[in-house]
Amino acid sequence: MITTMKYYLTFAWRNLWRNKKRTLLSTTSVLFAVFFATAFRSTQSGQHDYFIQMSVSTYTGYLQVQGKGYWDERSFDFSIEQNDALISLLAHTPHVTLINPRLESVALISHELETRISPVIGIDPDSENEMSGLRKRLVEGSYLTDSSRGVMIAEGLAERLHVGIGDSIILYGQGYQGVTAAELLPVEGILRFPIPKMNNAMVYLPLAKAQSLFNAYNRVTGMVLMIDDMEKMKSIQSDLSARLDTNLVVMNWEEMSPEIVQVIQSDVAGELIIMFILYTVIGFGVFGTVMMMAIERTREFGLLIALGMKRARLLLITTIEAMLVSIIGALAGSVVAFPLLFYLNHNPIHLTGDAAKAMLAYGYEPILPVSIEPGVFLSQTIAVFLITIIVSIYPLLFIRKIQPVSALQGRGGVK
Amino acid sequence: MQRLIFLCFLVSITTKAYAQDAKEILQHAIDLMYGKKTYSVITMTITKPTWSRTVSMKTWSIEPDYSIVYITEPARDKGSVTLKRKNEVWNWLPSVQKTIKIPPSMMLASWMGSDFTNDDLVRQSSIMNDYSHKLIGEDTIEGYRCYKIELLPKPEAGVVWGRIIIWISKKEYMQLKEEFYDEDGILVRTMTGSNPKMFDGHLLPSYSEMVPHNKPGNKTSFETKELDFDINISPEFFSIQNMGRVK
């Protein structure tokens, strides 16, 4: 049986090489199909991953432990105690790679006659940097340390307030339990964010300083968690929820950033339509090649059948041929796509014009990131492979109906 | 500042009143309540589900446009001053010796941690003209016979409330209760006045309480310790420069 199969394979392989041009043409059409499908899918998926990753690393983290009600009210009333028991519990949770405590509020930032409302975030400078790479954003001055007495502010905010390193700003807000929080704070660092919303607003100060300023000693508004496996996020979330006090909640990024989930969902819907069109074009392209091949070989098929070749065997050989063409084309497509996508993954295209404006409006750096997840390549290769197999049914039907006399006389083969 | 206590006794004083009686009753109660130039000592208690806080203050005001609130307690906030001039709110921060104007976008933030917003401080005068009012019945509140007056926003008015009901005692013209409904007719806030005392010759509730119904366990109450009418102050008193000087 295996030997027979080997013969068929050999026959099919030889058939392919009998007409190199034809084989090359079919293979190339599959190759391009896979290439385009992969490139498209990879760009889409890369963009979604980028949205998620940007949002997760700059702001929400994958998970956050908060006081129950905090997310809706954003009030210190729902802040939580930063105690060793909680930290140790989080630290001993599998897959948690980083625990980043934050005390967030909104306050008036004023310098001379200018006053702005800004998000004010008390951070652990090291863990915040580990999570979001905040230190990279520093354009002037120095990065905060735990014992800093001052603040780091975003570049756009500094411009609006006309402050530089060494100047002091007034921070005025409301602390824990309604107390007034007001203090003169020196600007120690200036940060540049690609996102205008952040670049015009953010104010960071060391956690301990924020806690004393807001009269929220030893309290945080959230423990931001990073994990090493996004797939496990929901199971970690439910596991933690079960083990934490009932006045604490664990939120995941999808709950904290529902707008991103929505953007992705609507994007995926549009993407499905485009993929359908792409697959249709691919399908007909491959079908054209296959049909041409079948017509071209009418005489050959007719002759073989006339000589006593069983139709079943002929069908088998042609199927093997089609599969070989598909496999080679699909693999080649992936192989061609990979270096290009790999390059783009590491050197994303920077967008300009309206597209860039739209992305900035969403709050993202205007780049076109691509994904090089193996899943993208695999799924597209398989999809195109299946399409090829489906369209290859045509020559099979053709062979079944072929009339040797008609075929040999060059009358189309079927009548 | 006296205004803050009965902040939400929002009354239309338009000349084109739809119901002359209701308008007169309200006008009378408003005049009695706010006086023209007042000085008061008030203790505000903010109650939240998990904590409460008491803030004591002195206030000076010329109704309806000017007021200054000087915080005397707690120690951490002592010396803070809020100045209201027409539609603007300014704060004096003693710890940094600076004045900050509250920007428009901050007007909906809580004032001193209470259930009132900065906007509540200034908004009142702007919505006074925005309601039509009608006498809808009589009722008894804490033993006082009261007029019950309904306020509905005029069609063109851009106001927060969909409907307000005010109870005013028939004899003393004290505002004893107000209910604030949103546009869907849901009760959002209730204010009640109680424990009437004589202040400078006028009988007025010395204790009042605001309960926001959308926030269970929250409450802001005011106790008036001292209230003087017709004190000798002029609008110049309510200047930014003077904020750092009042005591």
What DSSP character marks residue B37? Answer: E
Query: Mutual orientation of helices A374-391 and A20-55 as an angle, nearest 10°?
Result: 140
Q: State the best of A180, A212, A219 to mutate against chain B, taking most chain B CBs within 10 Å.
A: A180
| pLDDT reported for residue B43 | 92
- Average pLDDT of the segment spanning A404-410: 81
pLDDT band of residue A75 (cuts 50, 70, 90) is confident
Give how far Cα A141 sits from Cα of A109, A203, A252, Å.
Answer: 19, 14, 34
Is B163's Cβ below 8 Å from some Cβ in A? Answer: no
Q: Contact A115/B95, CB-based, under 8 Å? A: no
Q: Does position B15 have pLDDT exceeding 70, yes or no?
A: no
CA nearest to A102, candidates A20, A208, A243, A226: A208
Q: What is the average pLDDT score of chain A?
A: 86
**Which chain B residues are closer than 8 Å to A185 by Cβ?**
none
| pLDDT reported for residue B123 | 54
**Which chain B residues are closer than 8 Å to A108 by Cβ?**
100, 102-103, 106
**Residues in Cβ contact with B50 at an 8 Å cutoff, skipping those fewer than 6 apart:** A77
Q: Contact A77/B114, CB-based, under 8 Å? A: no
Q: Which amino acid is at B156?
A: E
pLDDT band of residue B245 (cuts 50, 70, 90) is confident
- Average pLDDT of the segment spanning A43-66: 85
**Residues in Cβ contact with B17 at an 8 Å cutoff, skipping those fewer than 6 apart:** B23, B132, B133
CB B136 within 8 A of CB B119: no
End-to-end CA distance of chain B: 15
Q: Which helix (H) or strand (E) holds A309?
A: none
Q: Which of A208-212, A260-264, B41-45, B157-161 has the lowest mean pLDDT?
A: B157-161
Q: Does position B11 have pLDDT exceeding 50, yes or no?
A: no
| pLDDT reported for residue A155 | 94
Give how far Cα B169 sits from Cα of A186, A228, A356, B135, Å.
Answer: 56, 67, 64, 13
Touching A: B residues 84-103, CB under 8 Å? 91, 93, 95-96, 98, 100-103
Q: Which helix (H) or strand (E) holds B227?
A: strand B219-229
DSSP letter for each residue of B97-158: TEEEEPPGGGTTSBSTTSS-BHHHHHHHHHHGGGEEEEEEEEEEETTEEEEEEEEEE-TT--
Q: Which residue has the higher pLDDT, A380 or A163?
A: A163
For residue B211, the cross-strand partners are B190
Q: What is the dihedral of CA B186, B189, B193, B194, to 10 degrees?
A: 80
Residue among B74, B96, B102 whose CB faces A182 most closely: B96
Distance CA A52, CA B52 (A): 40
| Widest CA span in chain B | 53
Give me the helices (H) in A297-310, please: 298-306
pLDDT band of residue B122 (cuts 50, 70, 90) is low
Give how far Cα A174 sits from Cα of B120, B133, B155, Å.
Answer: 17, 37, 36
Instruction: Please give the backbone phi and psi of residue A296, each rounded to the nearest 5 degrees, phi first.
Output: -60, -30
Q: Contact B96/A183, CB-based, under 8 Å? A: yes
CB B142 within 8 A of CB B176: yes
pLDDT band of residue B128 (cuts 50, 70, 90) is low
- Average pLDDT of the segment spanning A328-348: 88
Which chain B residue has its CA at the smallest distance from A184's CA? B96
In the block, tokens 């929400």 appear at A60
3-state secondary structure of A411: coil
Distance CA A312, CA A308 (A): 11
CB B103 within 8 A of CB A108: yes
Q: What is the pLDDT of residues B180-199, one digit of tens each?
A: 898 888 998 898 988 888 88
Give me the helices (H) in A133-213, please: 155-161, 196-199, 207-213
CA distance A172 to chain B (A): 8
For residue B163, the cross-strand partners are B181
Q: Which residue has the higher pLDDT, A100 or B65?
A: A100
Q: Does position A285 have pLDDT exceeding 90, yes or no?
A: no
**Residues in Cβ contact with A275 at an 8 Å cutoff, skipping those fewer than 6 apart:** A37, A40, A41
Angle at A300 (CA atoms; ends A299, A304), nearest 5 degrees: 115
Please give the structure tokens belonging to residue A163: 């402050």
| pLDDT reported for residue B35 | 67
Q: Contact A115/B101, CB-based, under 8 Å? A: yes
Which stretches of chain A sit within 8 Å of chain B by CB?
77, 108, 110, 115-117, 170, 172, 174, 177-180, 182-184, 215
pLDDT band of residue A56 (cuts 50, 70, 90) is confident
3-state secondary structure of A185: strand
Distance CA A387, CA A37 (A): 12
Q: Contact A178/B114, CB-based, under 8 Å? A: yes
| pLDDT reported for residue A156 | 94
Q: What is the pLDDT of residues A188-199, one digit of tens each?
A: 999 998 778 888
- Average pLDDT of the segment spanning B206-210: 89
Which bin fits A61, alpha (ψ -120 to 50), beta or left (φ > 0)?
left
Q: Does position A65 have pLDDT exceeding 90, yes or no?
A: yes
CA distance B42 to chain A (A): 17
CA distance B48 to chain A (A): 8
3-state secondary structure of B19: coil
Distance CA A157, CA A137 (A): 14
pLDDT band of residue A15 (cuts 50, 70, 90) is confident
**Which chain B residues are closer than 8 Å to A117 by Cβ?**
103, 105-106
In the block, tokens 């909104």 appear at A106
Is B110's Cβ below 8 Å from some Cβ in A? Answer: yes
| pLDDT reported for residue A165 | 93
**Which chain B residues are closer than 8 Å to A77 by Cβ?**
48-51
CA distance B113 to chain A (A): 4
**Residues in Cβ contact with A271 at an 8 Å cutoff, skipping those fewer than 6 apart:** A44
Distance CA A355, CA A180 (A): 44
- CB atoms near residue A265 (< 10 Å): 10
Residue among A117, A183, A215 whose CB faces B105 most closely: A117
CA distance B13 to chain A (A): 35
Q: What is the average pLDDT score of chain B?
A: 79
Touching A: B residues 34-53, CB under 8 Å? 46, 48-51, 53
Which chain A residue has its CA at the smallest distance from B80's CA? A180
**Residues in Cβ contact with B95 at an 8 Å cutoff, skipping those fewer than 6 apart:** A182, A183
pLDDT band of residue A173 (cuts 50, 70, 90) is confident
Which chain A residue has its CA at the smallest distance from B71's CA? A180
| pLDDT reported for residue A361 | 66
CB B21 within 8 A of CB B149: no
CB A387 within 8 A of CB A286: yes
**Which chain A residues are closer than 8 Å to B110 by Cβ?**
174, 178
What DSSP character marks residue B38? Answer: E
Pairing, β A203-206 against β A114-123: parallel
Pairing, β A180-191 against β A138-141: antiparallel
Which chain A residue has its CA at the smallest distance from B109's CA? A174
Is B243's Cβ below 8 Å from some Cβ in A? Answer: no
Instruction: Please give the backbone phi and psi of residue A33, each rounded to the nearest 5 degrees, phi first.
Output: -55, -50
pTM: 0.72
Q: Contact A180/B109, CB-based, under 8 Å? A: no
3-state secondary structure of A365: coil
pLDDT band of residue B14 (cuts 50, 70, 90) is very low
Q: Contact B113/A178, CB-based, under 8 Å? A: yes
Q: Contact B80/A180, CB-based, under 8 Å? A: yes
DSSP letter for each residue of A41-80: HHHHHHHHHHHHHHHIIIII-SEEEEETTHHHH--GGG-E
CB A183 within 8 A of CB A173: no
How remote is the C-alpha of A203 from its chain's centroid?
29
| pLDDT reported for residue A63 | 92
Q: Contact B76/A180, CB-based, under 8 Å? A: yes
CB A290 within 8 A of CB A48: no
Give how far Cα B64 sits from Cα of A160, A235, A276, Å.
Answer: 34, 58, 67
Q: Contact B106/A178, CB-based, under 8 Å? A: no
| pLDDT reported for residue A121 | 94
- Average pLDDT of the segment spanning A320-346: 87
Q: Contact A177/B51, CB-based, under 8 Å? A: yes
Q: Contact A116/B103, CB-based, under 8 Å? A: yes
Q: Which residue has the higher pLDDT, B151 or A123?
A: A123
CA distance A334 to chain B (A): 53
**Which chain A residues are closer than 8 Å to B100 by Cβ?**
108, 110, 115, 170, 172
**Residues in Cβ contact with A143 at an 8 Å cutoff, skipping those fewer than 6 apart:** A125, A129, A134, A135, A152, A189
3-state secondary structure of A402: coil
